[in-house]
Amino acid sequence: MPELGIVDMREIIRAMKSDFDYDFGNYALTSLKQRLERIMVMYNMGNAEGLIRKLRNDNNFFDTFLYEITVPSTEMFRDPSLWRWLSEDYFPGVEDKNTGKIKIWLPACVSGAELYSLAILISESGLQDKVHVIASCLSNKSIEVIKSGLYDLKKMEVSEENYKRVYSAKELSTYYKPGHNYALRDTRLIQNVEFKKLNINFDNAPQNIRLILFRNSMIYYNPTQQEKVLHVIYNSLSPSGYLVVGIREKISGINTGRDFEFINETESVYRKRILS
Amino acid sequence: MNYKAVIIGGSAGSFQVVTRILNSLPKSFPLPVLLCLHRLKHVRSGFVEALSLKSNIPVEEPYDKEMMRPGKAYLAPANYHMYIELANRIALSTEDTVNHSRPSIDLSFVTAANAYRDKLIGIILSGANKDGALGLKKVHDNGGIAIVQDPADCEVKTMTQAALQLTQVDFVYTTDQIINFLLKLK
């Protein structure tokens, strides 16, 4: 297995920046190193130069690279108690007060685990006509994978268990068909979803969002990038909009922390605070 | 002090051992203690509380990018890998399982070995799979101290035997000897 040194990492980051204008310099070093090494194993590259050469010579490879560098969610309905909270507390509340459509944004979709979980919740709550979901991805390949409905079959067992903890009387299997290695998810669930391809700084982020689901994505950034992206997230939220991050992600330690207040500390749900 | 951190990996049968270690360390223990223990993925609470009961040093599940402090224990949270970044920061990850485990002991040990080189003490305890063997080898290869709980002292031997097979470790210790070794670090 190839092991990248600090010099190799710098070379790769520099090449990505100069050739593609994607700056991974503020990604967390350990996980970035592991993702890069994983790609090198997948594509049989012995060293950093091999990877850089492939990026420069093969036009289609960059999008694949962006797909593989991002980490998909571990499973559907991860942290069932959050999904229960969304279904029992959050959605009933927003439905009443709001006249227009509730805009929900998932900034960093990879395999669509969070997106399909949300879509199932919306369907179960009968809110299909009252919400507008925007899913943004770093790569076109992510968008294709999500739209195709294909999903890693190995992740279905734990997803089923999670789903049962959200809806004790129901089966997740009504929403997918098991195939050979893949599960085929019911793509009707996402037929009204708006897909967007955004870069790593989320330039041209959507606006007036009522709820942002952004769990376990910022853990792949260093504190500098976390702060930068949180700023974008803050600006995307409507007044008193909600942000959900992973349960071991803390945003109060960063400068922008004063801009958010806790709504549900156990599930890491924050509300945008309007500064006077 | 020649060392920067102690990292402990364990699985089945390690809970009692970790508890005894934590209960024996003084409040003034001079290093951060990293704990990567296999645990149920969907049970988020209870574990850190149980380990804290009689521990003299605080035991916490770290937040992503938290700075490590001496005299504190950091338990890898459920369903996250726990990495050690440069500059004493902990980073969390939701990457694929390794050895069917998340947290994976191998990943915690390898990243800690890369960050601390010869200033790391790695300890593998009782357990039922081979996670941790590669990680402990990395600790040893980078010049750190590699310790394995004596398989005869383990409730489940598989993990310590796998580690011993892969690495010429520095010490094979019983729980009491591990505690004595750590207490001598001043």
Q: Does B132 touch chain A if contact means CB atoms closer than 8 Å?
A: no
Based on C-alpha coordinates, what's the Rg of chain A? Answer: 19
Q: Which of B42, B65, B95 sits opposite A71 (nearest CB)?
A: B95
Confidence of residue B148 (pLDDT cuts 50, 70, 90): very high
- Report how far residue B58's alpha carbon sits from residue A26's, in angstroms, rounded to the nearest whole number: 31
- How many interchain CB pairs under 8 A, A with B? 67
CA distance B101 to chain A (A): 12
Q: A246, B64: Cβ pair inside 8 Å?
A: yes
Phi/psi at B111 (5° precision): -70, -35
pLDDT-derived band of residue A265, with 50, 70 and 90 as boundaries?
Answer: very high
Peptide bond into B103 cis (omega under 30): yes
Q: What is the domain-level CATH number for residue B16?
A: 3.40.50.180
Looking at residue A209, what DSSP letter applies?
A: E
Spatial CA neighbour of A45 closest among A87, A2, A99: A2
Give the pLDDT mean for B71-89. Answer: 96
Domain count, chain B: 1
For A169-173, what is the mean pLDDT? Answer: 93
Q: Give the model confidence (pLDDT) of B112-125 as tens digits.
A: 999 999 999 999 99
Amino acid sitting at position A86? L
Could you give the CA distance from residue B80 to residue B61 in angstroms, rounded to a whole number? Answer: 11
Q: What would the two tokens of residue B28 be?
A: 């003034």
Q: Which domains does chain A have, with CATH numbers?
A: 6-69 (no CATH), 80-272 (3.40.50.150)
Neighbours of A136 (CB within 10 A): 21
Query: What counts of helices (H) and strands (E) characterise chain A?
Result: 10, 10
Could you list the residue range(s) of the whole structural domain that residue B146 is in? 5-183
Chain B CB contacts of A78 under 8 Å are: 79
A8's tokens = 């190799």
CA contacts within 13 A on the Cβ side of B172: 14
pTM for the predicted model, two decimal places: 0.95
Decide if B64 and A218 are in contact by the 8 Å CB cutoff. yes
Distance, in Å, from the CA atom of A58 to the CA atom of A68, rounded to the nearest integer, reads 16
